[in-house]
Structure 1
Amino acid sequence: MNQKSGYSLKQCKHCNHKIEDPEALFCAQCGRSLCREGHCCSCGKHLQPKANFCDRCGTAVTKPAKKSTSTLYAVDSSSPTKETAPLTGKDDQIKEIIEEQVKRRITEAQIERTLERNFQKEKALEAKLLKYGLRESDWVSITGGNYIMGSPASEIGRFENEQQHEVEIGRFEMLKTPVTFAMFDIFCDEVRHTRPPDDTWGRENRPVINVTYWSATEYCHWLSKRTGNKIRLPTEAEWEFACRAGTSTPFWTGETITTEQANFDGNYTYSGSQKGVSRGQTTPVDQFPANPWGLHDMHGNVWEWCGSVFDENYGGLELLSAETLQDDLRERIVRGGSWHNVPGGIRSAIRNKLLPHYHYLRVGFRIVREVT
């Protein structure tokens, strides 16, 4: 132990140079790797058993190789006959350097092959999604965590069924907009469903409306089979978590909201806000700013079906999906408010309910993708 510096000395196995920095990865004398068995040669992290890549820096793990028994030869460039001789003595260091360079080239090739495979997989997935009106960039990754669901007693426009309580959410991915007519019409045409009416407002990039809970879940099952992913409606707790995006105010925009930020009835105000416009119909799903997590239209435009059954006191049902309960006719949750609602009716905590076989021109849906 070096008493002055407080750490153990070690030597380079190649040149016997003393290494005083316990975190050094390369020898300061000869420049060669100080990689220890079971550790990453790039960042020094201890490797997991049987790991193929370092879980810190992503470097491919070079498996211990058997000592080469082949002989390396040096060419005498000054000899007219280019005579060769086996490397011996100090030349063994050259041999080790050459072997190490070969191993590095193999490692780099492994990384390149892995990156290429991942790229091809992403391209194939992107092509598959485009066929159904989606892109990979349309999904927003939501880490999950704990949050306070519901609203405080002091919140303007609050209802008794918005009791605050803490819930825990797992990781999932959510579509950054409500499902559009363009997406849903592809489904209808393929399975030979009648396309839902758009009330002459237009289709394409507007949110699909006039869909029942059962139609929304059938779309999820269809898209799951086509893409190989588990697609479903969000639970009520997932929906509010995503809407809030880390906020605890009535809206993700803060204490108030304007018709420049969402589509609602601007003839009414909230918490000192100014009156705005009342559009009287849906708007394209990307017309208004996204919340801090990249999600559009979490307030207003259309109510969104959730997978959960409605319970006045939550009762833990806010964490569950009832999509597979075909014989369960209890009311389902819809969230977010619509173009028809006053600002107090599009708050993050606002809850509404609807029988699963009903459909309205104010109700659409959004989907989530499970992360495995």
Structure 2
Amino acid sequence: MTDNRFAKRYSSDKKRSFFKGKSFILLLGILFGAGIMIAAYKTSVYFSTDESCMICHVHPHVETSWKLSKHVNNRSGVKTHCVACHLPPQNNTWAHYSAKAKLGLTDVWSYLTKDSADFNWDSKSELEHAVKYIPNESCKECHQNLFPEGISNDGVTAHLYYDENEKKLNLQCISCHLDAGHYNPNYVHSKLTGIPGADKVSASDSSKFFTDTVRLTSFSNYTEQIPGTAVSFKMIAIPGGTFEMGSTEKEPFHKADEAPVRNITLSPFFMAEVEVTWDQYWAFYGNTMSEGRTPPEKIYANNSNPNVDAISGPTPPFGFPDQGWGGGDRPAITMTHYAAETFCQWLSKKTGKKYRLPTEAEWEYAARGGTETPYFFAGNPKDFSDQGFWRKFFDAKTDSISSYVIYSKNSRNKTQEPALVLPNAFGLKNMLGNVMEYCADKYNPEAYSKSSVNEKNPLVTEGTEWVVRGGNYTSDAADVRCAARDHTKHDAWLKTDPQQPKSIWWYSDIRGIGFRVVCEPDASLGAK
């Protein structure tokens, strides 16, 4: 009996010792830790579902466009979920979960503190925004074979180019497949067939076509009409004169290539009221389009004065170069400088006048409209610009500049029709903003310092890139000053072009580029 009582007492003491000892605390810690891990895992799994993503992502098209996309609506029946595209692959644990935590907290904060009605969802669907939220490694995690059975020849060419240049050019899959995860009816990555809007003007409408061009009898504004088309556009008579070109260090956001200020004298010229529109450019495209790559110098080699039919125009672009924003009076965009020059040659032959691109001096003279201030309207660039420390606390002014300029603050990240802005004193619209405009000059950052203080009708012919002026719809107010200079970035603007050789007609990686034309007046008009 004594031994039995002792055994029971020993067993009871041992249990009490265990529950009070370190072993029990360790076991509780393990169980508690395991519980937390399981709960965290379950929470992570739930917040990785498509349904949980939709809680915060309330923009109207997100779920519908996803269900219509090839990531859901495809022949294989495979559904690609939100986290598969928007987070790094799970095999990179730290990158996956740190990105998930960062984006999750950002989304929750935005959901609680911001009004979704104020967001520009169209701009957030575009490439510049999308690249921030779609890791390229996630695309490659699923699409490990870039040359699957059934791929087209164009697809093979494009993927070979990607495979060889991914790291060097920082190429991303969505640069060519932006609509893979969210369907966009306006996005097409294949060669354009036909002319957008061509069905609006059929053969039965030929009575609307102009049969002759406008004959000029005086140096005054006129409306040009292109024979064989229903397209017309207004030209403004710009009187000759002398002006101060460039800016001084006193001008806010002045840059070195804008100095020194020079006195430039210009002969009179006509300039288009607005940038070349899609209606004008598609008329050119329809008249001259070809599959060839015949540059102008070869056309003129054996014929110093070729007829209209001898001018070879653009090859079909990939997708819709208007980005689905609309054609009509909107400025034509994404063409190369070479294509713009060819347009001028075609227009000259069609009308019998001498059309060309403006020189840089003509462009600035016309943009200023007789003023000597940063803009052709009143205002300080510092008040309009988003640059500077105080912009973190106070919004930039937009009242007066928005009446004259389509720029980052009012463009909604796309080009706009010229009717939305007021003209300058010469009657020209969109000289600042909307799209950058090609000039006839080569770009040289030291062009001003290497030239004379007083010049007449200057033209820079040495350089690699071309001058572009005016800024575009994405520009800050600092970059749409009359004196602000910029230039083409030819290789960068063709980065994702899959063709070999690359297109000489269309840029693949710049949208806010266009041009306007000038016309040289005949001496008989007596222009001064």
TM interval, shorter chain, is 0.5 to 0.7
Aligned pair partner of 1:139 in 235, 239, 254: 235
Q: CA deviation at 1:152?
A: 1.9
Aligned pair partner of 2:516 in 362, 366, 371: 366
2:516 is matched by which residue type in structure 1? R
Are 2:444 and 1:320 aligned? no
Q: CA deviation at 1:122?
A: 6.2
Contact 1:177–1:286 under 8 Å retained in 2: no
Q: CA deviation at 1:199?
A: 1.0
Aligned pair partner of 2:484 in 330, 339, 350: 350
For the structure 1 residues 356 and 166, does the alpha-carbon distance in structure 2 shift closer, same or farther, using more than 3 Å as the test?
A: farther
Secondary structure at the aligned position of 2:438 is classed as strand
Are 2:251 and 1:155 aligned? yes
Aligned pair partner of 2:341 in 211, 217, 229: 217
| Cα distance in 1 between the residues matched to 2:326 and 2:486 | 26
TM-score (norm 2): 0.42
1:364 is matched by which residue type in structure 2? G
For the structure 1 residues 281 and 126, does the alpha-carbon distance in structure 2 shift closer, same or farther, using more than 3 Å as the test?
A: closer
Gaps of 5+ in 1: 1-119, 267-276, 323-327
Contact 2:367–2:424 under 8 Å retained in 1: yes
| Cα distance in 2 between the residues matched to 1:313 and 1:319 | 14
**Residue pairs, 1:64-143, within 5 angstroms:** 121=215, 128-129=225-226, 131-132=228-229, 134-135=231-232, 138-143=234-239
For the structure 1 residues 178 and 363, does the alpha-carbon distance in structure 2 shift closer, same or farther, using more than 3 Å as the test?
A: same
Aligned to 1:291: 424
Aligned to 2:40: none
Q: CA deviation at 1:128?
A: 4.6
Cα RMSD between the aligned structures?
A: 2.6
For the structure 1 residues 141 and 278, does the alpha-carbon distance in structure 2 shift closer, same or farther, using more than 3 Å as the test?
A: closer
Aligned pair partner of 2:263 in 166, 170, 177: 166
Q: Deviations over 1:110-168 (max 9, x none)?
A: xxxxxxxxxx9569x978536456546x0000111111000121111110111111111
For the structure 1 residues 158 and 122, does the alpha-carbon distance in structure 2 shift closer, same or farther, using more than 3 Å as the test?
A: closer
Aligned to 1:338: 472
**Residue pairs, 1:32-51, within 5 angstroms:** none
2:511 is matched by which residue type in structure 1? L
Contact 1:133–1:182 under 8 Å retained in 2: no
Aligned to 1:234: 358
Q: CA deviation at 1:319?
A: 1.9
Counting matched residue pairs gives 237
Gaps of 5+ in 2: 1-213, 290-313, 381-399, 494-506, 523-528
Aligned to 1:302: 435
For the structure 1 residues 130 and 245, does the alpha-carbon distance in structure 2 shift closer, same or farther, using more than 3 Å as the test?
A: farther
| Cα distance in 2 between the residues matched to 1:133 and 1:350 | 36
Aligned to 1:186: 283
2:359 is matched by which residue type in structure 1? T
Q: Deviations over 1:48-83 (max 9, x none)?
A: xxxxxxxxxxxxxxxxxxxxxxxxxxxxxxxxxxxx
| Cα distance in 2 between the residues matched to 1:282 and 1:128 | 24
Aligned to 1:85: none
| Cα distance in 2 between the residues matched to 1:344 and 1:133 | 39
| Cα distance in 2 between the residues matched to 1:331 and 1:239 | 17
Q: Deviations over 1:197-226 (max 9, x none)?
A: 111111111001101000000000010011
For the structure 1 residues 291 and 134, does the alpha-carbon distance in structure 2 shift closer, same or farther, using more than 3 Å as the test?
A: farther
For the structure 1 residues 205 and 159, does the alpha-carbon distance in structure 2 shift closer, same or farther, using more than 3 Å as the test?
A: same
| Cα distance in 2 between the residues matched to 1:263 and 1:133 | 28
Aligned to 1:206: 330
1:265 is matched by which residue type in structure 2? S
| Cα distance in 2 between the residues matched to 1:227 and 1:191 | 15
Q: CA deviation at 1:311?
A: 1.2
For the structure 1 residues 205 and 238, does the alpha-carbon distance in structure 2 shift closer, same or farther, using more than 3 Å as the test?
A: same
Q: Deviations over 1:244-278 (max 9, x none)?
A: 01001110012345223211112xxxxxxxxxx35
Identity %: 30
